[in-house]
A and B are shown apart, each in its own frame.
Chain A
C-alpha cells in the first residue's frame, strides 16, 4: 500500500508528503485521529508532495495524519441495479447511508453502490469458444423495463476467448459469470459489475452519428420551435425564479427516452425531494412501470462538499454512457452546470492558479466543452443505436447571459433555451424566450410553417413595442391585428401549463394538429372591422383554445371545443 503523511491543509485541499510514487487523479484516503477514512483525489503533484482535494469536510485533520493511496482513479461501479437509485456525487447510495448514519451525512462512510446481496436472473448469450472484446455482450439480466446487457469490462483492451460461461440462473453481481482467456492463455474471471474512471469517456462504439432524430419532450415550444435531437445537447440559462428546475422536472417526466439521469448539482435539496417522492408514484407511459425504474438521481445539493459536486456531473455522464452502450436512449439533465463551474473555480483558487474571467479557471471552456461532447448518438458494434442527450441549466449571475459559463456553454451546445425574467414575471411559462432562443436541430414540424409563425410573432412584438409609444389609438388596424395574432399564438401555443394533467405533456400528433390549425388561421384574412371587435373576438377564441388545450385528446369535450373553434374561425374568414 502506497502511503503518505499530511503536511498542510487549506480548506478542502490537503498537501501530502509522498513516500512512494503517485498517479495524477489517483484516489487517496486521509486517515484521521478518529480512524475515519476521507476520500480524496490527487489534483497536483509537486516534487515529493501531492495536493489532494478532499470530498468531505476537512475539520479535524491534523499534520502528520496518514494517507493511503488506492492506485485507482476516481471511478464508478457499473452493473445491474443502477436504475432507481439515489446517489451522491461519488455514487454513495443516500437511502442506505441514511440507514447507517441517520439524519446527517456523516463523513467517511462509503457504501457499495450496487447491492451485493441482490440476485439477478442471468441469461447467457455468449457461448464457450466465442471471441469477445470489450463491451461485447455475454448475457443479460432483466432490470426494470429493460434487458440489462452484461458486457466484457470496457477496460479489457485485448481480444479474448470465452473459456466458460455460467448457465442461466440467479447470481450475485460479485459472482463469476464467465471466464475468458487472452492470446497468451491468461485467465480472467468476469462478474456482472466493473469499475470505470468517471473522467474518461466510454468510446466502445463503431462510430458517432449525426444527431437528426428529434427527442420529444412534449413541451410544445421545444418540440415545435426549438427542438432537441437524440444525442444532442442543449442548455437552459435563466435567472432565479424563471422556472429552470420546473422545466427540467417536466422534461424528466415526459421525455421520450429509455433512461433519465438527473444530476442535481449544487442546487436545493428540497427540489430533489420532490422528484424523489413523486417519481415512484408516477407511471412511465412507455413501459407502464414506475417512472423511478427508468431514473437515476445523482444528488449533490448545495450544502454537500464542493469537491464531490465537481465529480458528480462526471459520475452522471458515465452512467449515461454505460446505458447507451446497451443501445438505449439516455437523457442526462444537469441542474445546474454553473454550480459545477463554481466548484472548479473554488478548487482553482485553492491551487492558486492564475484566474481567468470572473476568477473562473482558464480551463473552464475546455472542461465545459469536454463534458457536453460526451453526448452523442452512436452505432454500436452490434448494429444497434444508442444515444446520450445532455441538457444543462445555467444559473448566470444576475441573470446576465454575458458571463463566462453561459458563453462557454453556448459555444458547444446545439440548442439554446434562454429563460427570461420578463416572461416569468408575467407568469408566461415555460419562460423560454421565443425570439432569443435558437436550435440547430430539425424538429417534427414543417420548417417553412414554423418560420412563418416565428416572423409573425416577431412582428407582433414590434407592434407591441410601438404601441407603448403611440398608444392603441395611433396603431393601424392591420398592425393591431398582427399584434393580436402574435399574442394569441404566444398564449395558446408557446405557453403551456406544466401543472395541468393534460396540458403538461402534448403528444406530437396533437402538436401538429393544433399548430396547423393556428398556422392556417394566421395565414387567412379575417373580417374584423375595428379594434374593439378584434380584441373581443380574439379573447373569446383564446378562451376556447385554452379550454381545448386542457381537454383530453379526443375526448367528448375535445371534439366539442374543436367544432366550436372551427366554427368561430370559419365565420370570420373573409
Chain B
C-alpha cells in the first residue's frame, strides 16, 4: 500500500507542494479534495519537497487534503474500444460511455529515430481542391492552419475529418468553446464519421493543466495505432491555446519568460509534439493538421512564428478561403508528379493567372482603363474563386483538375494560358 500524505506545504496557482519520499519525476498522484478527486503530476523534486501540478487546478484545495502517489506516470488506455469515444484531457470519458482502464500506455514517449524515417510518398486526399490540387497534404506531414480568430477553421477541420481518406481521425481540442465542441460532435455524428474518430477535448472552462495533456494523449494513441498499420490523421485545435496554457503555467511557476511572456522552451515543446508526425516503413503513419490562431493576424507572433519553423508549410485561412499565395505545402513536390501528368502544370499555371487577376483587380479598383485581357482575367478570377476556392465541396482530385481545364477554356484561348502544348492537346475541353 502506498503512503498517503496529508500535509500540503504550499499552494500557488495550480501547483502544490508536499514533503514526501520515494517519489519519481513525472509520477502521478491523486489528490482527494472536498469537491472530488483530481490527478496531479510531479513537476519538480527538491530534496524532500515534491511539487505537483493539479489537473483540476488549485482552487478549493485544503492544506489538509490527502495525496496518494500512484507510482506511475500519466497513462492512457489504448484499444480498439477508443474509437467513437470522447474523452477529456485526463483521459476520462466525456460521453456517457464506460471508463477504459485496459492496456494502459505512457504518453510523451521518446522521439522517432531519424535514421528510420522514410521520404514521404503518399498523398492524403481530402476532396477540397485548394488542398488536393494546389497544396497537397502528404502522409506524415505536419501542417498548421494559420488563421485569424473568427475564421471558419473548425468547420474546415470537421470537413477534413469527414472527407479525408485515412483510417482513423484523432481530434485533440484545446480551449474549445463548448459550442465548438458540440459542433464537432454533432457534425461528425451526422456525417457518420464519429465511428472512425477519437476525441480528446479540453474546453475553455476546463482546468488549464488538462489543456497541456491533450496533444500528448492524442499523439500517444495515434502512435500506437500507426504502429498497428493504421493511417492516422491527428487534428489539433487550437495550438495557440496550448501555448497560452504553457505560458500561464510557466508564469505561475516563476519561470523567466522569453518573448511576450512565453517560456523559453516554446519551440522545443511545440516541436516535440509536431515531430511525432511520421511515416513508418511497412506500417502506418501519423499526419498532423493543427490550427494556430494568429493574435491580431500577426504571423510574427511567437506561436505562429515558432510553428512556422517546425512545420512543413502552412495553410493561411483568410476571408473563409485558403489563401493561395501564403499557403505552402513543402511536401507537395514529393507526390504531385505521381497523380496525373497535368497536376503540376495546372497548379502553377492557374496560380500564375490568379496572380495576374489580382493585379487587374487592383488596376480596376484604382480606376484605370481595363483592356480585353484584363476582362478575361477578371472573369477567370471570379470563376476560380467560386469553383476552386470553395471549402464546402467534396470533389476528387481528377474532377478538380477537369474543372480547372474547363475554367481555363471558358476564359482564355489555349495560347494565352502559358500551358505546354502537349497538355493542351490532351486536356483542353473540346467544343461542342
Residues of A in contact with B (beta carbons under 8 Å apart): 7-10, 15, 33, 57-64, 86, 94-95, 97-98, 101-107, 239-241, 266, 268-270, 272-274, 276-277, 299, 301-304, 306, 339, 342-343, 345-346, 349, 352, 355, 358-360, 395, 397-400, 425
Is A397 a contact partner of B114 (Cβ separation < 8 A)? no
**B276: A residues at CB distance < 8 A:** 303
Given contacts A266-B271, A302-B268, A306-B268, contact A272 B24 (CB under 8 A): no
Is A306 a contact partner of B115 (Cβ separation < 8 A)? no
Is B111 a contact partner of A62 (Cβ separation < 8 A)? no
Is A397 a contact partner of B115 (Cβ separation < 8 A)? no
Q: Bits for B298-320, please: 1 = Cβ < 8 Å to A, else 0.
A: 01111001101110110000000
Is B257 a contact partner of A64 (Cβ separation < 8 A)? no
**A240: B residues at CB distance < 8 A:** 305, 308-309
The 5 nearest A-B residue pairs measured at CB: A398-B300, A302-B271, A303-B275, A59-B26, A62-B24
**B73: A residues at CB distance < 8 A:** 59-60
Q: List 9 A-B contacts (CB under 8 A).
A: A33-B24, A59-B24, A60-B26, A63-B23, A103-B112, A104-B109, A273-B117, A358-B258, A359-B264
Rounded to whole Å, the gap between the CB of B230 and the closest CB of chain A is 15
Cβ 8 A contact of A268, one of B26, B46, B301, B312: B312
Our count of residue pairs bridging A and B at CB distance below 8 angstroms stands at 165
Cβ 8 A contact of B111, one of A60, A105, A273, A343: A105
B324 at the interface (CB under 8 A from A): no
Closest B residue by C-beta to A347: B264
A95, B140: Cα distance in complex, Å? 21
Is B275 a contact partner of A346 (Cβ separation < 8 A)? no
Residues of B in contact with A (beta carbons under 8 Å apart): 21-27, 44-48, 73, 108-120, 140, 227, 255-259, 263-265, 267-268, 271-272, 275-276, 280, 299-302, 305-306, 308-310, 312-313, 325, 328, 331
**B267: A residues at CB distance < 8 A:** 266, 302, 339, 342
Closest A residue by C-beta to B298: A398
Cβ 8 A contact of A273, one of B27, B109, B118, B263: B118
Closest B residue by C-beta to A400: B300
Is A397 a contact partner of B259 (Cβ separation < 8 A)? yes
Cβ 8 A contact of B119, one of A64, A273, A345: A273
Rounded to whole Å, the gap between the CB of A239 and the closest CB of chain B is 8
DSSP class of A's interface residues: helix, strand, loop or mixed?
Answer: mixed
Closest B residue by C-beta to A96: B115
**A303: B residues at CB distance < 8 A:** 111-112, 271-272, 275-276
**A95: B residues at CB distance < 8 A:** 115
Closest B residue by C-beta to A240: B308
Is B305 a contact partner of A397 (Cβ separation < 8 A)? yes
Other A-B contacts than A8-B44, A63-B23, A107-B110, 19 sampled, CB-CB below 8 A, are A7-B46, A7-B47, A58-B25, A59-B108, A60-B26, A98-B116, A103-B227, A104-B112, A105-B111, A266-B271, A301-B275, A302-B267, A349-B263, A349-B265, A355-B256, A359-B256, A397-B305, A398-B299, A398-B300
**B24: A residues at CB distance < 8 A:** 33, 59-63
Residue in B112, B115, B119 whose Cβ sees the most chain A Cβ within 10 Å? B115
Rounded to whole Å, the gap between the CB of A60 and the closest CB of chain B is 5
**B114: A residues at CB distance < 8 A:** 86, 94, 269, 272-273, 276, 299, 301
Closest B residue by C-beta to A264: B114
Is B264 a contact partner of A397 (Cβ separation < 8 A)? no
A268, B313: Cα distance in complex, Å? 12
Is B117 a contact partner of A8 (Cβ separation < 8 A)? no
Is A342 a contact partner of B119 (Cβ separation < 8 A)? no
Is B47 a contact partner of A241 (Cβ separation < 8 A)? no
A7, B23: Cα distance in complex, Å? 11
Is A10 a contact partner of B255 (Cβ separation < 8 A)? no
A94, B116: Cα distance in complex, Å? 9
**B140: A residues at CB distance < 8 A:** 270
Rounded to whole Å, the gap between the CB of B364 and the closest CB of chain A is 16
Closest B residue by C-beta to A352: B256
**A360: B residues at CB distance < 8 A:** 258
Is B113 a contact partner of A306 (Cβ separation < 8 A)? no
**B259: A residues at CB distance < 8 A:** 358-359, 397
Is B25 a contact partner of A59 (Cβ separation < 8 A)? yes
Cβ 8 A contact of A103, one of B257, B258, B280, B325: B280
Rounded to whole Å, the gap between the CB of B331 and the closest CB of chain A is 8
Residue in B24, B73, B112, B331 whose Cβ sees the most chain A Cβ within 10 Å? B24
**B328: A residues at CB distance < 8 A:** 241
A98, B111: Cα distance in complex, Å? 12
Cβ 8 A contact of A106, one of B26, B110, B258: B110
**B313: A residues at CB distance < 8 A:** 241
**A241: B residues at CB distance < 8 A:** 308, 313, 328
Closest A residue by C-beta to B314: A241
Given contacts A63-B45, A274-B119, A349-B256, contact A101 B113 (CB under 8 A): yes
**B256: A residues at CB distance < 8 A:** 349, 352, 355, 359
Is B312 a contact partner of A270 (Cβ separation < 8 A)? yes
Rounded to whole Å, the gap between the CB of A342 and the closest CB of chain B is 6
